Structure 1
């Protein structure tokens, strides 16, 4: 049995329907999914381009490398550890900004 079995009919002008369709398409959602997300109060973001997941992957990879260098530097006392910690924090902040900007929230 279907989870959603209650229907609602809504009338739109051509312009309104076109605007709704464009917004749903940009978010990579169906019209029903877009409306349900909007009604539930979820922030609806435009779906990321194909290159954004690659960018997130690369930023995470750089962060992992910095973390590994930081561990080695700390154990051997070779490099300026506080400066590496700052670089790692900056990298994680950039990662969070990218993820927050390009990921959808809600159901």
Structure 2
């Protein structure tokens, strides 16, 4: 991973209204004003930070997916359950996990 050191500085002047708007948008995204500006300048879509319970939801979806995966492996080894149906449930779980993560996570700088 390449680490970029930000050594250059640029001064920008704002009106009170502009600075308040920038601060509000940055807070909603969970970023610093500087981080928010860099992302906007780089053309990255900046989303609001997720509610506090979203990381817990993602963790729970992953836990359920891991449990499904273990059950599917065991059922397949023993020839017991409907493995295609379990595989579909696992795929659905992973799709939900990806949807939640894509919706609520912000790429790092």
Partner SS for 1:45? coil
Moved more, 77-86 or 8-17: 8-17
What is the RMSD computed on CA atoms of the aligned residues? 1.3
Partner of 2:27: 25
**Could you tell me whether the CA contact under 8 Å between 1:43 and 1:106 is conserved in 2?**
no
**Alignment length (residue pairs):** 105
The 1-side partners of 2:31 and 2:71 are apart by 42
Q: Tell me, which stretches of 5 or more residues in structure 2 are unaligned?
A: none
Show the counterpart of 1:75: 77
TM (norm. structure 2) is 0.88
* Counterpart pick for 1:100 among 88, 99, 102: 102
TM-score by length of 1: 0.89
Moved over 6 A (4+): none
Q: Which whole-Å deviations, capped at 9, do the CAs of 1:42-99 have from their partners, x for residues lacking one?
A: 2212112211110000000000011011001111111111000000000000000000
Any idea what the Cα deviations from partners look like across 1:3-43, whole Å, max 9, x if unmatched? 33333222323322221111101112111111111112222
